[in-house]
Protein backbone atom coordinates (compact mmCIF):
# COMPACT_ATOMS: atom_id res chain seq x y z
CA UNK A 1 0.00 0.00 0.00
CA UNK A 2 2.86 2.36 0.85
CA UNK A 3 4.22 2.04 -2.70
CA UNK A 4 0.80 2.80 -4.18
CA UNK A 5 0.41 5.93 -2.08
CA UNK A 6 3.93 6.97 -2.92
CA UNK A 7 3.12 6.67 -6.64
CA UNK A 8 0.05 8.87 -6.24
CA UNK A 9 2.03 11.38 -4.20
CA UNK A 10 4.59 11.71 -7.00
CA UNK A 11 1.88 12.37 -9.58
CA UNK A 12 0.06 14.89 -7.39
CA UNK A 13 3.28 16.70 -6.48
CA UNK A 14 4.31 16.99 -10.12
CA UNK A 15 0.89 18.12 -11.33
CA UNK A 16 0.69 20.71 -8.56
CA UNK A 17 3.94 22.28 -9.64
CA UNK A 18 3.05 22.13 -13.32
CA UNK A 19 -0.37 23.72 -12.87
CA UNK A 20 1.05 26.85 -11.28
CA UNK A 21 4.06 27.10 -13.56
CA UNK A 22 3.35 25.82 -17.07
CA UNK A 23 6.42 24.69 -18.96
CA UNK A 24 6.50 24.43 -22.76
CA UNK A 25 6.53 20.79 -23.77
CA UNK A 26 9.66 19.42 -25.42
CA UNK A 27 8.45 17.12 -28.18
CA UNK A 28 10.86 14.49 -29.50
CA UNK A 29 11.16 13.68 -33.17
CA UNK A 30 9.31 10.53 -34.12
CA UNK A 31 8.89 8.62 -37.33
CA UNK A 32 5.72 8.92 -39.35
CA UNK A 33 4.02 5.81 -40.63
CA UNK A 34 1.43 5.06 -43.26
CA UNK A 35 -2.12 5.11 -41.81
CA UNK A 36 -6.32 5.18 -42.05
CA UNK A 37 -8.94 7.76 -41.74
CA UNK A 38 -12.34 6.95 -40.43
CA UNK A 39 -15.17 9.04 -39.09
CA UNK A 40 -17.64 8.94 -36.25
CA UNK A 41 -20.96 7.19 -36.68
CA UNK A 42 -24.04 9.18 -37.64
CA UNK A 43 -26.87 9.36 -35.09
CA UNK A 44 -30.39 8.56 -36.17
CA UNK A 45 -31.67 12.13 -36.21
CA UNK A 46 -30.83 15.75 -35.39
CA UNK A 47 -32.21 17.58 -32.39
CA UNK A 48 -32.64 21.36 -32.77
CA UNK A 49 -33.78 24.10 -30.45
CA UNK A 50 -35.24 27.50 -31.15
CA UNK A 51 -33.22 30.70 -31.07
CA UNK A 52 -33.09 32.69 -27.87
CA UNK A 53 -33.94 29.85 -25.50
CA UNK A 54 -32.38 29.82 -22.04
CA UNK A 55 -30.04 26.98 -21.12
CA UNK A 56 -29.89 25.80 -17.51
CA UNK A 57 -26.97 23.63 -16.39
CA UNK A 58 -26.35 22.21 -12.93
CA UNK A 59 -22.77 23.07 -12.07
CA UNK A 60 -21.12 22.58 -8.66
CA UNK A 61 -24.52 22.16 -6.98
CA UNK A 62 -25.70 25.51 -8.34
CA UNK A 63 -27.86 26.42 -11.31
CA UNK A 64 -26.34 28.68 -13.94
CA UNK A 65 -28.84 30.14 -16.40
CA UNK A 66 -27.46 31.09 -19.80
CA UNK A 67 -29.59 33.39 -21.95
CA UNK A 68 -29.23 35.54 -25.06
CA UNK A 69 -27.77 32.76 -27.16
CA UNK A 70 -28.37 33.38 -30.82
CA UNK A 71 -29.10 29.67 -31.33
CA UNK A 72 -28.58 26.29 -29.77
CA UNK A 73 -28.39 23.18 -31.92
CA UNK A 74 -27.54 19.58 -31.21
CA UNK A 75 -26.75 18.04 -34.57
CA UNK A 76 -25.29 14.60 -35.25
CA UNK A 77 -24.19 14.24 -31.60
CA UNK A 78 -22.51 17.66 -31.79
CA UNK A 79 -23.31 20.62 -29.57
CA UNK A 80 -23.51 24.06 -31.18
CA UNK A 81 -24.33 27.26 -29.28
CA UNK A 82 -23.77 30.58 -31.03
CA UNK A 83 -22.14 33.39 -29.03
CA UNK A 84 -19.36 35.85 -29.80
CA UNK A 85 -15.86 35.41 -31.25
CA UNK A 86 -12.96 37.65 -30.22
CA UNK A 87 -10.08 38.94 -32.35
CA UNK A 88 -6.51 37.61 -32.40
CA UNK A 89 -3.07 38.90 -33.30
CA UNK A 90 -1.06 37.70 -36.26
CA UNK A 91 2.15 35.67 -36.20
CA UNK A 92 4.56 34.36 -38.80
CA UNK A 93 3.99 30.90 -40.26
CA UNK A 94 6.13 27.82 -40.83
CA UNK A 95 5.34 25.47 -43.69
CA UNK A 96 6.64 22.08 -44.77
CA UNK A 97 7.00 20.29 -48.08
CA UNK A 98 4.30 18.25 -49.77
CA UNK A 99 4.91 14.50 -49.48
CA UNK A 100 3.04 11.39 -48.50
CA UNK A 101 4.71 10.11 -45.31
CA UNK A 102 6.41 6.74 -45.55
CA UNK A 103 8.00 4.47 -42.98
CA UNK A 104 11.11 5.86 -41.29
CA UNK A 105 10.43 9.33 -42.67
CA UNK A 106 10.38 12.17 -40.17
CA UNK A 107 8.11 15.20 -40.26
CA UNK A 108 9.40 18.74 -40.24
CA UNK A 109 7.70 20.44 -37.31
CA UNK A 110 5.75 23.58 -38.07
CA UNK A 111 4.99 25.20 -34.71
CA UNK A 112 3.92 28.69 -35.75
CA UNK A 113 0.45 29.46 -37.04
CA UNK A 114 -0.55 32.53 -39.02
CA UNK A 115 -4.05 33.35 -37.79
CA UNK A 116 -6.78 35.07 -39.78
CA UNK A 117 -5.62 33.99 -43.23
CA UNK A 118 -8.09 34.74 -45.96
CA UNK A 119 -9.70 31.87 -47.85
CA UNK A 120 -7.49 32.61 -50.85
CA UNK A 121 -4.35 32.52 -48.70
CA UNK A 122 -5.38 29.20 -47.12
CA UNK A 123 -6.08 27.63 -50.51
CA UNK A 124 -2.69 28.88 -51.70
CA UNK A 125 -0.63 27.30 -48.91
CA UNK A 126 2.40 25.89 -50.79
CA UNK A 127 2.48 22.51 -49.04
CA UNK A 128 -1.10 21.61 -50.02
CA UNK A 129 -1.95 20.21 -53.43
CA UNK A 130 -5.12 21.33 -55.18
CA UNK A 131 -6.69 18.18 -56.64
CA UNK A 132 -9.33 18.11 -59.34
CA UNK A 133 -12.46 15.95 -59.01
CA UNK A 134 -11.23 13.93 -61.98
CA UNK A 135 -7.98 13.17 -60.17
CA UNK A 136 -9.78 12.12 -57.00
CA UNK A 137 -12.19 9.93 -58.96
CA UNK A 138 -9.19 8.17 -60.47
CA UNK A 139 -7.53 7.81 -57.08
CA UNK A 140 -10.65 6.31 -55.44
CA UNK A 141 -11.91 4.38 -58.50
CA UNK A 142 -14.81 6.79 -58.85
CA UNK A 143 -15.53 6.66 -55.12
CA UNK A 144 -16.19 2.95 -55.31
CA UNK A 145 -18.22 1.60 -52.34
CA UNK A 146 -15.56 -1.07 -51.88
CA UNK A 147 -13.14 1.74 -50.98
CA UNK A 148 -15.42 3.28 -48.34
CA UNK A 149 -13.58 3.13 -45.00
CA UNK A 150 -15.51 5.61 -42.88
CA UNK A 151 -18.76 7.50 -42.61
CA UNK A 152 -19.95 10.22 -40.27
CA UNK A 153 -22.05 13.35 -40.01
CA UNK A 154 -19.44 15.16 -42.12
CA UNK A 155 -19.66 12.73 -45.03
CA UNK A 156 -17.66 9.75 -46.30
CA UNK A 157 -14.02 8.66 -46.25
CA UNK A 158 -12.60 6.59 -49.11
CA UNK A 159 -9.35 4.76 -49.46
CA UNK A 160 -7.40 5.74 -52.55
CA UNK A 161 -4.07 5.05 -54.19
CA UNK A 162 -1.71 7.45 -55.89
CA UNK A 163 0.63 5.78 -58.37
CA UNK A 164 3.26 7.07 -60.73
CA UNK A 165 0.71 7.18 -63.55
CA UNK A 166 -1.94 9.06 -61.55
CA UNK A 167 -0.06 12.07 -60.25
CA UNK A 168 3.60 12.29 -61.15
CA UNK A 169 4.14 15.23 -58.79
CA UNK A 170 3.28 13.12 -55.72
CA UNK A 171 5.07 10.15 -54.25
CA UNK A 172 3.10 6.92 -54.82
CA UNK A 173 1.16 5.66 -51.80
CA UNK A 174 -2.20 5.04 -50.16
CA UNK A 175 -4.30 8.04 -49.12
CA UNK A 176 -7.66 8.72 -47.47
CA UNK A 177 -10.13 11.04 -49.20
CA UNK A 178 -12.83 12.71 -47.11
CA UNK A 179 -15.85 13.88 -49.09
CA UNK A 180 -18.20 16.23 -47.27
CA UNK A 181 -21.96 15.81 -47.51
CA UNK A 182 -23.61 19.03 -48.69
CA UNK A 183 -26.22 18.53 -45.93
CA UNK A 184 -23.69 17.40 -43.29
CA UNK A 185 -23.08 19.21 -39.99
CA UNK A 186 -19.62 20.24 -41.17
CA UNK A 187 -19.84 22.86 -43.88
CA UNK A 188 -17.46 25.06 -45.81
CA UNK A 189 -16.29 26.90 -42.68
CA UNK A 190 -15.18 23.70 -40.93
CA UNK A 191 -13.64 22.37 -44.14
CA UNK A 192 -11.62 25.58 -44.50
CA UNK A 193 -10.63 25.45 -40.81
CA UNK A 194 -9.10 22.03 -41.27
CA UNK A 195 -7.17 23.24 -44.30
CA UNK A 196 -5.92 26.21 -42.29
CA UNK A 197 -4.61 24.28 -39.28
CA UNK A 198 -3.35 21.08 -40.87
CA UNK A 199 -1.98 23.08 -43.78
CA UNK A 200 0.32 25.03 -41.43
CA UNK A 201 0.98 22.85 -38.39
CA UNK A 202 2.96 19.62 -38.66
CA UNK A 203 3.81 17.08 -35.99
CA UNK A 204 4.17 13.28 -35.81
CA UNK A 205 0.97 13.09 -33.76
CA UNK A 206 -1.17 15.17 -36.12
CA UNK A 207 -2.54 13.45 -39.21
CA UNK A 208 -0.91 14.81 -42.35
CA UNK A 209 -3.10 16.71 -44.81
CA UNK A 210 -1.89 16.28 -48.39
CA UNK A 211 -4.35 18.40 -50.31
CA UNK A 212 -7.92 19.33 -51.12
CA UNK A 213 -10.49 19.71 -53.87
CA UNK A 214 -12.85 22.64 -54.24
CA UNK A 215 -15.05 22.42 -57.32
CA UNK A 216 -18.59 23.79 -57.29
CA UNK A 217 -20.39 22.26 -54.31
CA UNK A 218 -17.71 19.60 -53.81
CA UNK A 219 -15.51 19.85 -50.72
CA UNK A 220 -12.89 17.13 -50.30
CA UNK A 221 -9.72 16.64 -48.25
CA UNK A 222 -6.86 14.19 -48.92
CA UNK A 223 -4.92 12.77 -45.96
CA UNK A 224 -2.32 10.19 -45.24
CA UNK A 225 -3.90 6.77 -44.79
CA UNK A 226 -4.23 5.44 -41.22
CA UNK A 227 -4.50 1.69 -41.64
CA UNK A 228 -5.75 0.76 -38.14
CA UNK A 229 -8.63 3.20 -38.11
CA UNK A 230 -9.86 5.06 -35.05
CA UNK A 231 -9.33 4.40 -31.37
CA UNK A 232 -13.11 4.33 -31.05
CA UNK A 233 -13.28 1.31 -33.35
CA UNK A 234 -10.72 -0.66 -31.35
CA UNK A 235 -12.28 0.14 -27.98
CA UNK A 236 -15.95 -0.35 -28.77
CA UNK A 237 -16.54 -2.23 -32.03
CA UNK A 238 -17.35 -5.90 -31.66
CA UNK A 239 -14.71 -8.12 -33.18
CA UNK A 240 -12.03 -5.43 -33.15
CA UNK A 241 -8.56 -6.37 -31.95
CA UNK A 242 -8.19 -5.93 -28.20
CA UNK A 243 -5.80 -3.14 -27.28
CA UNK A 244 -3.35 -4.25 -24.60
CA UNK A 245 -2.54 -2.04 -21.63
CA UNK A 246 0.82 -1.13 -23.16
CA UNK A 247 -0.79 -0.02 -26.44
CA UNK A 248 -3.43 2.00 -24.59
CA UNK A 249 -0.73 3.92 -22.73
CA UNK A 250 1.18 4.51 -25.97
CA UNK A 251 -1.96 5.87 -27.61
CA UNK A 252 -2.63 8.14 -24.63
CA UNK A 253 0.93 9.46 -24.75
CA UNK A 254 0.81 10.07 -28.50
CA UNK A 255 -2.51 11.92 -28.20
CA UNK A 256 -1.17 13.95 -25.27
CA UNK A 257 1.87 14.92 -27.35
CA UNK A 258 -0.38 16.12 -30.14
CA UNK A 259 -2.51 18.23 -27.79
CA UNK A 260 0.52 19.56 -25.93
CA UNK A 261 2.08 20.61 -29.24
CA UNK A 262 -1.07 22.55 -30.16
CA UNK A 263 -1.37 24.19 -26.76
CA UNK A 264 2.30 25.21 -26.65
CA UNK A 265 2.56 26.56 -30.19
CA UNK A 266 3.46 30.26 -30.46
CA UNK A 267 -0.15 30.88 -31.46
CA UNK A 268 -1.99 28.46 -29.17
CA UNK A 269 -4.52 26.18 -30.84
CA UNK A 270 -7.41 24.64 -28.91
CA UNK A 271 -8.57 21.40 -30.52
CA UNK A 272 -12.14 21.59 -29.16
CA UNK A 273 -13.31 18.14 -30.33
CA UNK A 274 -10.94 15.67 -28.70
CA UNK A 275 -12.56 12.21 -28.62
CA UNK A 276 -11.82 8.57 -29.41
CA UNK A 277 -13.17 8.74 -32.97
CA UNK A 278 -10.76 11.58 -33.81
CA UNK A 279 -7.68 9.62 -32.68
CA UNK A 280 -6.40 7.58 -35.61
CA UNK A 281 -3.92 4.70 -35.51
CA UNK A 282 -1.35 3.72 -38.11
CA UNK A 283 -0.07 0.24 -38.89
CA UNK A 284 2.15 0.28 -35.78
CA UNK A 285 -0.56 1.77 -33.51
CA UNK A 286 1.03 5.19 -33.45
CA UNK A 287 -1.76 7.68 -32.71
CA UNK A 288 -2.49 10.95 -34.50
CA UNK A 289 -5.16 13.61 -34.08
CA UNK A 290 -7.50 14.17 -37.00
CA UNK A 291 -10.49 16.39 -37.87
CA UNK A 292 -9.60 20.01 -37.09
CA UNK A 293 -12.93 21.43 -38.25
CA UNK A 294 -13.71 22.78 -34.77
CA UNK A 295 -10.16 23.87 -33.82
CA UNK A 296 -9.81 27.43 -32.57
CA UNK A 297 -6.97 29.81 -31.87
CA UNK A 298 -6.44 30.31 -28.15
CA UNK A 299 -6.52 33.60 -26.24
CA UNK A 300 -3.78 36.16 -26.79
CA UNK A 301 -2.36 39.02 -24.76
CA UNK A 302 -4.07 39.50 -21.39
CA UNK A 303 -7.13 37.49 -22.40
CA UNK A 304 -7.82 34.39 -20.33
CA UNK A 305 -10.28 32.76 -22.72
CA UNK A 306 -11.94 32.96 -26.11
CA UNK A 307 -15.69 33.54 -26.24
CA UNK A 308 -16.99 31.45 -29.08
CA UNK A 309 -19.62 29.04 -30.26
CA UNK A 310 -19.90 26.01 -28.03
CA UNK A 311 -19.00 23.15 -30.32
CA UNK A 312 -17.95 19.64 -29.49
CA UNK A 313 -19.36 16.23 -28.64
CA UNK A 314 -21.62 15.39 -25.72
CA UNK A 315 -19.84 13.51 -22.99
CA UNK A 316 -16.46 14.97 -23.96
CA UNK A 317 -17.12 18.73 -23.81
CA UNK A 318 -16.07 20.47 -20.57
CA UNK A 319 -19.09 21.49 -18.47
CA UNK A 320 -17.88 25.03 -17.80
CA UNK A 321 -17.43 25.56 -21.55
CA UNK A 322 -20.99 24.48 -22.28
CA UNK A 323 -22.24 26.68 -19.43
CA UNK A 324 -20.40 29.86 -20.42
CA UNK A 325 -19.03 29.55 -23.96
CA UNK A 326 -15.60 30.47 -22.60
CA UNK A 327 -12.99 28.36 -24.35
CA UNK A 328 -9.56 27.62 -22.86
CA UNK A 329 -6.95 24.91 -23.33
CA UNK A 330 -8.27 23.35 -20.11
CA UNK A 331 -11.39 22.37 -22.08
CA UNK A 332 -9.17 20.03 -24.12
CA UNK A 333 -7.68 18.71 -20.88
CA UNK A 334 -11.16 17.74 -19.67
CA UNK A 335 -11.85 15.92 -22.95
CA UNK A 336 -8.51 14.16 -22.65
CA UNK A 337 -9.53 12.97 -19.18
CA UNK A 338 -12.70 11.47 -20.63
CA UNK A 339 -10.68 9.56 -23.25
CA UNK A 340 -8.36 8.32 -20.49
CA UNK A 341 -11.45 6.94 -18.76
CA UNK A 342 -12.48 5.23 -22.00
CA UNK A 343 -9.02 3.65 -22.24
CA UNK A 344 -9.22 2.49 -18.63
CA UNK A 345 -12.77 1.19 -18.70
CA UNK A 346 -13.51 0.20 -22.28
CA UNK A 347 -16.78 2.16 -21.92
CA UNK A 348 -18.11 4.96 -24.07
CA UNK A 349 -18.30 8.52 -22.76
CA UNK A 350 -22.07 8.31 -23.19
CA UNK A 351 -23.83 4.95 -23.42
CA UNK A 352 -27.63 4.92 -23.58
CA UNK A 353 -27.72 1.13 -23.35
CA UNK A 354 -26.82 1.45 -19.68
CA UNK A 355 -29.06 2.56 -16.83
CA UNK A 356 -28.93 5.57 -14.52
CA UNK A 357 -25.58 7.08 -13.61
CA UNK A 358 -23.75 4.47 -15.72
CA UNK A 359 -24.94 6.20 -18.90
CA UNK A 360 -22.37 8.95 -18.33
CA UNK A 361 -18.82 7.66 -17.93
CA UNK A 362 -17.54 10.61 -15.88
CA UNK A 363 -20.40 10.47 -13.39
CA UNK A 364 -20.07 6.71 -13.00
CA UNK A 365 -16.27 6.46 -12.75
CA UNK A 366 -15.40 9.51 -10.66
CA UNK A 367 -16.15 7.97 -7.20
CA UNK A 368 -13.66 5.15 -7.86
CA UNK A 369 -10.75 7.06 -9.37
CA UNK A 370 -9.11 8.43 -6.22
CA UNK A 371 -9.14 5.17 -4.24
CA UNK A 372 -6.51 2.56 -5.10
CA UNK A 373 -8.71 -0.15 -3.56
CA UNK A 374 -11.62 0.66 -5.90
CA UNK A 375 -9.98 1.53 -9.22
CA UNK A 376 -10.20 -2.06 -10.44
CA UNK A 377 -14.00 -1.69 -10.47
CA UNK A 378 -13.86 0.59 -13.51
CA UNK A 379 -11.17 -1.33 -15.42
CA UNK A 380 -12.00 -2.87 -18.79
CA UNK A 381 -12.98 -6.49 -18.13
CA UNK A 382 -11.69 -7.41 -21.61
CA UNK A 383 -8.17 -6.85 -20.29
CA UNK A 384 -8.79 -9.84 -17.98
CA UNK A 385 -6.70 -8.23 -15.27
CA UNK A 386 -3.62 -7.91 -17.48
CA UNK A 387 -2.59 -4.45 -16.37
CA UNK A 388 -0.26 -3.16 -13.61
CA UNK A 389 -2.15 -2.17 -10.49
CA UNK A 390 0.08 0.79 -9.71
CA UNK A 391 0.07 1.97 -13.29
CA UNK A 392 -3.71 1.80 -13.53
CA UNK A 393 -4.04 3.79 -10.32
CA UNK A 394 -1.60 6.45 -11.56
CA UNK A 395 -3.51 6.84 -14.84
CA UNK A 396 -6.80 6.98 -12.90
CA UNK A 397 -5.40 9.82 -10.79
CA UNK A 398 -4.38 11.67 -13.95
CA UNK A 399 -7.87 11.19 -15.37
CA UNK A 400 -9.39 12.49 -12.13
CA UNK A 401 -7.19 15.58 -12.30
CA UNK A 402 -8.24 16.20 -15.92
CA UNK A 403 -11.99 16.05 -15.20
CA UNK A 404 -11.81 18.03 -11.98
CA UNK A 405 -12.82 21.66 -11.53
CA UNK A 406 -11.21 23.81 -14.19
CA UNK A 407 -8.98 25.71 -11.74
CA UNK A 408 -7.50 22.42 -10.52
CA UNK A 409 -6.82 20.85 -13.90
CA UNK A 410 -3.19 20.48 -14.96
CA UNK A 411 -2.07 21.60 -18.38
CA UNK A 412 -1.34 19.08 -21.11
CA UNK A 413 2.42 19.30 -20.60
CA UNK A 414 1.95 18.09 -17.03
CA UNK A 415 -0.44 15.33 -18.07
CA UNK A 416 1.97 14.19 -20.78
CA UNK A 417 4.84 14.07 -18.33
CA UNK A 418 2.76 12.07 -15.88
CA UNK A 419 1.97 9.48 -18.55
CA UNK A 420 5.60 9.32 -19.61
CA UNK A 421 6.59 8.77 -15.96
CA UNK A 422 4.23 5.80 -15.81
CA UNK A 423 5.68 4.34 -18.99
CA UNK A 424 9.24 4.89 -17.78
CA UNK A 425 8.61 3.41 -14.34
CA UNK A 426 7.29 0.16 -15.85
CA UNK A 427 5.23 -0.84 -12.87
CA UNK A 428 4.99 -4.55 -12.20
CA UNK A 429 2.77 -6.43 -14.61
CA UNK A 430 1.27 -8.76 -12.01
CA UNK A 431 -2.32 -7.60 -11.61
CA UNK A 432 -4.07 -7.64 -8.30
CA UNK A 433 -7.38 -6.27 -7.14
CA UNK A 434 -6.68 -4.08 -4.12
CA UNK A 435 -10.08 -4.38 -2.48
CA UNK A 436 -10.14 -3.82 1.29
CA UNK A 437 -9.92 -7.18 3.15
CA UNK A 438 -13.08 -8.06 5.02
CA UNK A 439 -12.97 -6.92 8.62
CA UNK A 440 -10.06 -4.52 8.21
CA UNK A 441 -10.40 -0.78 8.69
CA UNK A 442 -9.95 1.39 5.60
CA UNK A 443 -6.84 3.53 5.32
CA UNK A 444 -7.24 7.29 4.96
CA UNK A 445 -7.14 8.60 1.40
CA UNK A 446 -4.19 10.88 0.68
CA UNK A 447 -5.15 14.35 -0.43
CA UNK A 448 -3.50 16.51 -3.07
CA UNK A 449 -4.05 20.21 -3.63
CA UNK A 450 -5.09 19.21 -7.16
CA UNK A 451 -7.25 16.24 -6.23
CA UNK A 452 -10.85 17.35 -5.77
CA UNK A 453 -13.00 15.99 -2.99
CA UNK A 454 -15.51 14.10 -5.11
CA UNK A 455 -18.11 14.37 -2.37
CA UNK A 456 -17.91 18.16 -2.40
CA UNK A 457 -17.17 18.94 -6.05
CA UNK A 458 -19.95 18.01 -8.44
CA UNK A 459 -19.20 19.17 -11.96
CA UNK A 460 -22.30 18.07 -13.79
CA UNK A 461 -21.98 16.71 -17.29
CA UNK A 462 -23.80 18.31 -20.21
CA UNK A 463 -26.38 15.54 -19.90
CA UNK A 464 -27.68 17.07 -16.65
CA UNK A 465 -29.28 19.90 -18.62
CA UNK A 466 -32.93 19.43 -19.50
CA UNK A 467 -32.08 20.65 -23.01
CA UNK A 468 -29.17 18.30 -23.68
CA UNK A 469 -30.08 14.70 -24.37
CA UNK A 470 -27.71 11.78 -24.36
CA UNK A 471 -26.56 10.45 -27.70
CA UNK A 472 -27.38 6.93 -28.90
CA UNK A 473 -25.12 4.36 -27.30
Mean pLDDT of the 391-408 span: 96
- Residue 198's closest CA among 278, 313, 284? 278
Give residue 444's pLDDT band: very low, low, confident or very high (50, 70, 90).
very low
Mean pLDDT for all residues in the chain: 75
Residue with more model confidence, 239 or 70: 239
Residues 320 and 449 in one domain: yes
Residues 397 and 278 in one domain: yes
What pLDDT, on a 0 to 100 scale, did the predictor assign at position 239?
A: 86
Residues 279 and 206 in one domain: no
Q: Is residue 69 part of a domain?
A: no
Q: Give the distance, in angstroms, between the CA of residue 123 and the centroid of all CA atoms in the same chain.
A: 26
Give residue 73's pLDDT band: very low, low, confident or very high (50, 70, 90).
very low
Note whether 208 and 223 are within 8 A (CB).
yes
Residues 272 and 214 in one domain: no
* Residue 45 clears pLDDT 80, i.e. is over it: no
Mean pLDDT of the 170-188 span: 81
Known binding-site residue numbers for ATP: 179
Give residue 425's pLDDT band: very low, low, confident or very high (50, 70, 90).
confident
Q: Is residue 246 part of a domain?
A: yes
Lowest mean pLDDT among 53-67, 212-226, 315-329: 53-67
Question: pLDDT digits over 285-327, tens only?
Answer: 999 999 999 999 999 889 999 998 888 899 999 999 999 999 9
Range of the domain at 120: 105-224
Residues 293 and 355 in one domain: yes
Residues 175 and 284 in one domain: no
Residue finishing a domain among 194, 224, 254 = 224
Q: Is residue 118 part of a domain?
A: yes
Q: What percent of the chain has pLDDT over 70?
A: 63
Residue with more model confidence, 412 or 99: 412
Residues 244 and 218 in one domain: no
* Residue 374 clears pLDDT 60, i.e. is over it: yes
Give residue 88's pLDDT band: very low, low, confident or very high (50, 70, 90).
very low
Give residue 59's pLDDT band: very low, low, confident or very high (50, 70, 90).
very low
The CATH number for 218's domain is 3.30.200.20
Q: Is residue 332 part of a domain?
A: yes
Mean pLDDT of the 446-455 span: 36
Residues 199 and 236 in one domain: no
Q: Is residue 253 part of a domain?
A: yes
Q: How many domains does the chain have?
A: 2
Residues 301 and 164 in one domain: no
Q: Is residue 451 part of a domain?
A: yes
Residue finishing a domain among 198, 224, 250 = 224
Known binding-site residue numbers: 179
Residue finishing a domain among 224, 242, 276 = 224
Q: Is residue 51 part of a domain?
A: no
The CATH number for 328's domain is 1.10.510.10
Give residue 204's pLDDT band: very low, low, confident or very high (50, 70, 90).
very high
Q: Is residue 380 part of a domain?
A: yes
Q: Which of 254, 273, 282, 380 is catalytic?
A: 273
Is 254 noted as a catalytic residue in this protein? no
Residues 237 and 188 in one domain: no
What pLDDT, on a 0 to 100 scale, did the predictor assign at position 1?
A: 52
Residues 247 and 196 in one domain: no
Amino acid sequence: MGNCLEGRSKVDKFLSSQTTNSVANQIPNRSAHASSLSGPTVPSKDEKFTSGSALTLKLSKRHIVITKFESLCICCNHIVVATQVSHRNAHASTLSSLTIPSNNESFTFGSVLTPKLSEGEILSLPNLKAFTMTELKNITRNFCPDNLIGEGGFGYVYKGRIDEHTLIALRPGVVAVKKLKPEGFQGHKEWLSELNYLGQLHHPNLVKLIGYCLEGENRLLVYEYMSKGSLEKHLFKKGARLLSWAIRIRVAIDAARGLSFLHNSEQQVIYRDFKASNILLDSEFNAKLSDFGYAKEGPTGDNTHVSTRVMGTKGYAAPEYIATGRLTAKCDVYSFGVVLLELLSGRRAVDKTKVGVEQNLVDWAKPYLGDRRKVFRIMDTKLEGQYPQKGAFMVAILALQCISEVKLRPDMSAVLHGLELHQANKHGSSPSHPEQPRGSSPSPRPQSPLTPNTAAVNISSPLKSPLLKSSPG
